[in-house]
Amino acid sequence: MSDFIVSARKYRPQTFDTVVGQKSITATLKNAIKNDHLAQAFLFCGSRGVGKTSTARILGKTINCFNRTENVEACDVCESCESFNSGSSLNVYELDGASNNSVDNIRELINQVRVAPQLGTHKIYIIDEVHMLSPSAFNAFLKTLEEPPKHAIFILATTEKHKIIPTILSRCQIFDFNRIKIKDIADHLAFIAKSENIVAEPEALHVIAQKADGALRDSLSIFDQIVTFSGNTVTYQNVIDNLNILDYDYYFRIIENALKEDIPASLLLLNDILEKGFDSHNFIVGLADHYRNLLVCKDVRTANLLEVGESIQQKYIEQSKEVDANHILRALGVLSRADVEYKASKNQRLLVEMALMQLCSINKELEKKND
């Protein structure tokens, strides 16, 4: 039987310093441990795959560590750390709020809270997906959360903060986890690729990072999928083929056709895109994003807002020199209208074709206006 472990589990953060993209939160938690200013209830909020549960586990492990390092990290060798790493710790309890959402489950938890820790100074209770608790379960939990025993620390995690009742929120120290930046995800994927002896093109990793939409766990799942598809060499072409993403090259060619005022070439290129099975609405949205990137490249101060690989960034910079800013603004207006009108349109292909025709006519309109 294979001993393969998915990257999301194999490279799960084990220390505060290995948590990706949440430096302000990890620094605050480390200072709280160092100065013994720990709240008795924490609420970790944020979208999926940004490190809420991993940070909660690291916090629980570090609080009970007997020999914390100077950098306020768990030592990984003391009795408490070893029991946590082996999954046999009696001081860190994890509860899934989705499957343990009844009053009886919470009452059982409250009875456990009263028992002092056998090893270490605190008992840590991590409740994941806490927004799934029933209203009656929340109410049963209120008193314990307000006046817990000195040895108890609650860490609640949720993707939907708005579903948690205000009386719970007011009793917690709230940490909002950010969506992870594309560059941070790409850098982490590069580290994993190097660790696994996988050759990966930077552009390929950037596309995976963009597809993950700020969720590191999603990016790792996609990365595993691509490695399974392509072996130990991850190329840009493999990624766009496997994830059914439209190649940047199509957008560059559409702009070239618009500048040449070549309507037939634009329509043929659209037909090629549709024949490959791509959605015309996604094409419109992607083309608008491409024009936005060209506008961003026109000023050195905003060039950093472009989140693509270096070789593709160079292509954007070169093409932005050929396109006038007024042309870009007009094009963004055309594409925004097409995006809004798309769903209501009876002939969606015609709508997209008309948008491309308008893009090819922008330069003539600007010349007439200047005359």
Of 227, 242, 257, which residue sits at a domain end? 242
- How far is 225 from 243, CA to CA, in rounded Å? 9
Enter the pTM of the model.
0.78
Count CB neighbours of 279 within 10 A.
14
Same domain membership, residue 101 and residue 84: yes
Of the candidates 138, 46, 126, the one whose C-alpha atom is nearest the C-alpha of residue 101 is: 138
Same domain membership, residue 212 and residue 107: no
Q: Is residue 1 part of a domain?
A: no
Quick one: residue 221, left, alpha or beta (phi over 0 = left, psi -120 to 50 = alpha)? alpha
Same domain membership, residue 112 and residue 199: no
Same domain membership, residue 269 and residue 341: yes
Query: What domain range includes position 285?
Result: 248-370
Number of domains in the chain: 3
pLDDT score, position 371: 61
pLDDT score, position 37: 86
Same domain membership, residue 156 and residue 99: yes
Of 207, 242, 277, which residue sits at a domain end? 242
Which residue ranges in the chain fall short of pLDDT 70?
1-3, 370-371
Quick one: residue 76, left, alpha or beta (phi over 0 = left, psi -120 to 50 = alpha)? left
Q: Look-up: residue for tokens 């003391």? A: 78
Same domain membership, residue 214 and residue 284: no
